[in-house]
Structures are given as C-alpha cells and as structure tokens.
C-alpha cells in the first residue's frame, strides 16, 4: 500500500481538483481500482488495521487465569508479583500446551493495558488558569454563600 504522503496528495489533487478522470489516473499509475478508491476516500493514508483479532487457540482459554493472577498482584508488594516466567510455569502446571513466548507477549499486553495514563501539563509563559465558584464563609458569626474568582499564573 502507498503510504508516501506527497504521492497520496498528488493523486487526490489530480482527481479532485484538476478534474482528471479516475480511469486516466489508474492508467498512469497502474494502481488497482480499490486502492484509488481508498486514496480518494481518505485525506491521509489510513494505515493497516486488522479486521478481527488473531485467534489464540492454545492461550485463549488461559487468558482469564492470567488476568486473575495480574489482578491479585496489584495488592502485593512489587518484589512479590508474578513475572511472565512464573505465570508460564503455573499455567504449565494447569495443563497449558503452548510456549513461553506467547505467555510473555500476552502478559506484556495485559500489563500495558492496565497502566495508569498520565497527561503531562505544559503551561506557556503568560498563560492563565481561571475558575469561578461558591463557598460558605463565616462572616460576623453567620454562614453566607460567597462567590469567588480565582486566577493562577502557573
């Protein structure tokens, strides 16, 4: 599949702006019809997408067990958590017929999916953050609702 952005834009521009017929572009470039259709449908190359997940005939029945081990590990100290090797050994004891690499890759995938996500905050110079709210304030012995405005220059 063609993923060069300049080529992609040139083909789109010839058909959509210059009015060159699609058949003419197909003759010039030698593209299959479905590829040209995809180029015209997407403003940039869409990349590869797997239609359905790859089947896991050997590991599939044990994925729930791996998830349970990783869930139990969250409450344990870091040094006492299961490694992929130890998970593989426990699965072998339960009758898992596959190899270590499949287990290792599945453990990595499941751990990455469960990680916390942090969004870094970046504040440009002169940027301000503002908020408006209400607060209960004790003033002269009475509770009153007061509006407030807060501005912070980080």
Instruction: Report CA 147 to chain centroid distance, whole Å.
Output: 40
Q: Which residues is 142 bridged to in the sheet? A: 139
CA 34 – CA 41 distance, rounded (Å): 10
Mean pLDDT of the region 29-53: 89
Mean pLDDT of the region 41-59: 88
Mean pLDDT of the region 89-94: 96
Burial of 82 (0-12, 13-18, 19+ CB in 10 A): middle
Q: Which residues is 132 bridged to in the sheet? A: 149
CA 151 – CA 154 distance, rounded (Å): 10
Q: What is the pTM of this model?
A: 0.52
Q: How many residues does the chain have?
A: 154
| Residue range 95-144, pLDDT digits in tens | 999 999 999 999 999 999 988 888 888 888 888 889 999 999 998 999 99
CA 35 – CA 20 distance, rounded (Å): 17
Note the maximum CA span of the chain.
Answer: 87
CA 100 – CA 141 distance, rounded (Å): 71
């Amino acid at each position: 599949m063609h993923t060069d952005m300049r080529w992609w834009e040139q083909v789109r521009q010839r058909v959509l702006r210059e009015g060159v017929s699609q058949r003419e572009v197909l003759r010039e470039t030698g593209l299959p019809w479905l590829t040209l259709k995809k180029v015209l449908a997407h403003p940039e190359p869409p990349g590869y997408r797997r239609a359905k997940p790859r089947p896991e005939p050997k590991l599939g029945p044990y994925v729930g067990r791996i998830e349970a081990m990783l869930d139990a590990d969250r409450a344990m100290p870091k040094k006492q958590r299961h490694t992929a090797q130890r998970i593989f050994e426990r699965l072998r004891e339960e009758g898992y017929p596959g190899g270590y690499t499949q287990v290792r890759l599945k453990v990595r995938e499941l751990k990455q999916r469960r990680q916390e996500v942090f969004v870094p905050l970046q504040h440009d110079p002169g940027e301000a953050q503002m908020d408006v709210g209400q607060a209960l304030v004790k003033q002269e012995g009475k509770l009153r609702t007061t509006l407030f405005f807060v501005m912070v220059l980080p």
